[in-house]
Chains A and B, each alone.
Chain A
């Protein structure tokens, strides 16, 4: 285990030493209940708010009170569409993004009550209803296509164990056609390689067991090139600016690629480190992305939000922990207290073996070490 000290690099969770008090837990606890009208723009993404907050709490090893968990379950149940899938809010149409958020939020809660909320049969109906002949998925009925949809579909299908070959027929080839001349993946074939879309496409293929069909070497070169040599954080696209959220979308590719290359027979992989500069990423997040009142941000000068808080923390966890089932190496920047829970590699969205929401399979524990 490595421990590196850099001045000012503690993960500031709470500080009540002055009149100016900040508390990241306050930020979450309040947000989980009440949000200001500034959040009207996310009125069609409320399951996302549940997911971002719950996942952040999970990473900080903060338990979720049973009453809160139960209330989240009831709310998400109201977001479930009678036709299957989950919507951005009660009464709205189902959409793959809030479906992903809702199912994953329920899995974080992990209680019997949570699992029982999901109507698995209807969910399958919904996924089939957004499936396109060319293998892609639209985000919602009458909506747009891009590679996020394949990831959302694959994630929820594997978590709820409704993955069928028919459901993802031709999807592999469609996703592969999104890998471009840069080595990364685009939102739809032909566009620029982009971190968010690259994560979605790659993770979807991992879930489908087809990641080896990508040009992994080209993808690896592209993603490592996205780490900024001065800032230490990641950019989303070549020649664009750093952003804290790419700490997850981009850095999160390295564990996936590590495993994929290992499965391909690559013998020279490190046994201690991911192939990005872990310390530099931790420094960027801790020194540049913390909001003094709690929560995390895109870059200095930007305001905090739950999306950036979630993905900065997720990226921080990846940068702190190397390993798989058998191997674990930590590299914590700053104090011991900075350590976050390790994101399971299966977080990319469980594989079929991980799908535990099945009447005969007992729910397994998720992200506890």
Chain B
């Protein structure tokens, strides 16, 4: 008995897997299926109301959990809520939009979005340089709390009190020396909350050059200030600081980041133009330049095409109306668009694919891939043919695919190319085994037959005979090969 079990264990554990091997697929899958069947069949035996067992509502939320209760108690008061609660439960757009972002959106987003809410308008003013002083921790204590006030807290006690969430007056630290000791104490405590509070105080009470100079030798505090300035969107001071520190690349990136906040494309383009001269690394400079050029192109193309589409004269736009504007799309998407709508245009126009290819130095591989996908989508098989045909200086033509013909077949197949078209490219796949696989998969009989013929594989050829239609040309072909 124990012997038998050991054998079974042996069986389960003996498989010599290295990494994930999936060749046992059927076996494992059928095991799962079998367990599932067994388990499901048990349902008939036991009570139908078994869901009560765990007291789980269908969504799986255990009854009584906090998020479940929020829904429950909120819906109880729905009557007078002008339907807000129904949205709360169904997760309709107005509700669903918020909580998801609560956990993910960055502070800078918030600052951007705020001015849409009327009650916050004054706030954005408070963020400009002049308003910043309002930001500092409470400096004058209300009379009521005065009793609690003690003037002889040293920097260490002050920091400790602040760490415990108590409000402290910092005003009493007057000399530069005192302020710096206070800052060092805060940094030593590692509590970002306190460090930031002290920094706000210093920022308000110290001359900028002194603040910068002192922070330069206090890296931790410096990082906190930079982080804080980023969050509150004090771009100007941030850039000044980074410049002072000679962190030019950061200045450039930080400035470039700003373009994301500009919705108007014309303004965005202008802004990007201004970014080109910034001190990026050499590699990044060319990317930024490309970004600007791309947007410039997109604006021209967009204006043109919108016009064309509205006029209704152009067949391609009538047949395939645009789903979205091309503005702010990545380069490759733009190339696809231009291969789709502007394929035949001369190189001189901004929207022509060859022009894009040249301007952005798009590699051959990328270009062929994108053009192929676009033309195949339009089922323009002649274009596909032309794209993959090269002529040498003697005038001979030859088929060439920098991406490999197996990829060509894949793309064409995805676009439902007819067998005749597909066959032509399957035939060009170099590796015999891959060719055979693809040909079999897509039923390109001729290619399969020819390949077996070339491999002189009589047995496979005979076997394949039963896969083609009886009396068809393919069958004749197989027979004639076999007879030779």
Q: Bound pair: A and B? A: no
Which residues of A are at the interface with B, using a C-beta cutoff of 8 A? none
Which residues of B are at the interface with A, using a C-beta cutoff of 8 A? none
